[in-house]
Amino acid sequence: MCKPCNATFKNNESLDNHILKKHPEFKVSIRSDLHECPYRPYCKYKTTIKTYLKSHMLSHSKEREITCKHCNMSFKRKYTLDNHIIKKHPDFIASVKRKIHEGSCCAFKTIHKSALDVHMLIHSADKVTHKGKHECSSCSFKAIHKSTIDRHMKTHSSDKFKGIHREIHQCSYCEFKAIHKSTLDRHMLTHSKDKVVTCKHCNIEFKNKEAVNEHVVRAHSGFLASLSCKIYSCTHCYYKTTIQHLFNKHLSKHHE
């Protein structure tokens, strides 16, 4: 029985769903698992009954495509159209009603806070590039301290990897090698200014592959199988990311 209104239900799951919908101020009393729409924060739908979520998702698949009145491109989601206007039609940015997140170091704008976080990785690489006094003679790596460049130079030594039977990850731009994929990923940020990477699904340009991968997860979830990097998937909701620190931040913020 529902304590706030005395309505009765056959099971606790239905009771919890009723409390969620009709008495949200008492949602702390809910014991059932919450199933949230993956289109959050743009869709606030939540339920304790998984089949209800499946039915709700059909409403998204039936949504009509929205056409950009400035160039006639079509989009299935309003937030995708908003980002398109920000990128391609900045003169009409005032028509975007959602909150716009702006980069503190450049003119980058987006409606996705997570996309801004990914973009800022580019500037963290720029800081190393601009401040570095010691430069690697074999690649574009730079460092503030000589001890750091000395350690880096060892990565160019072929002797370092002798006797190692694990997979060696090779930089596609220089001679840098690493045992750990994460080490190579950090190194690749040093090449962020060398080449622009284009998303093959929508032609938006990014300064590194890591930013493209995260963009695909956010904007083109139907093509996740095309990504070769690790995807961190939350077991409590539909959140996904290719960046571990963002995943850890999500877990600590939403599921602790």
- The reported pLDDT for the residue numbered 126 is 46
> Using alpha carbons only, how large is the chain's radius of gyration in Å?
23
Q: What is the pLDDT of residues 59-108, one digit of tens each?
A: 766 555 788 888 878 777 788 888 889 888 888 888 888 888 887 767 78
Pairing verdict, β 134-135 and 109-110: unpaired
Band of pLDDT at residue 152, cut at 50, 70 and 90: low
Mean pLDDT of 164-185: 71
Give the orientation angle of helix 244-254 with respect to helix 113-131, to 10 degrees.
Answer: 140
Alpha carbon distance 45, 39 (integer Å): 9
Mean pLDDT of 106-125: 74
Band of pLDDT at residue 130, cut at 50, 70 and 90: very low
- The reported pLDDT for the residue numbered 61 is 61
Band of pLDDT at residue 129, cut at 50, 70 and 90: very low
Please choose, from the candidates 199, 192, 155, 159, the residue with its C-alpha nearest in 3D space to the C-alpha of residue 177: 155
Alpha carbon distance 67, 69 (integer Å): 6
> Cis omega (within 30 of 0) on the bond before 38?
no
Q: Which residues are bridge partners to 134 per DSSP?
A: 143
Predicted confidence (pLDDT) at residue 147 exceeds the cutoff of 60: yes
Q: What is the pLDDT of residues 11-23, one digit of tens each?
A: 888 888 888 888 8
Q: What is the pLDDT of residues 186-232, one digit of tens each?
A: 777 766 555 677 888 887 777 678 888 888 888 888 888 888 889 99
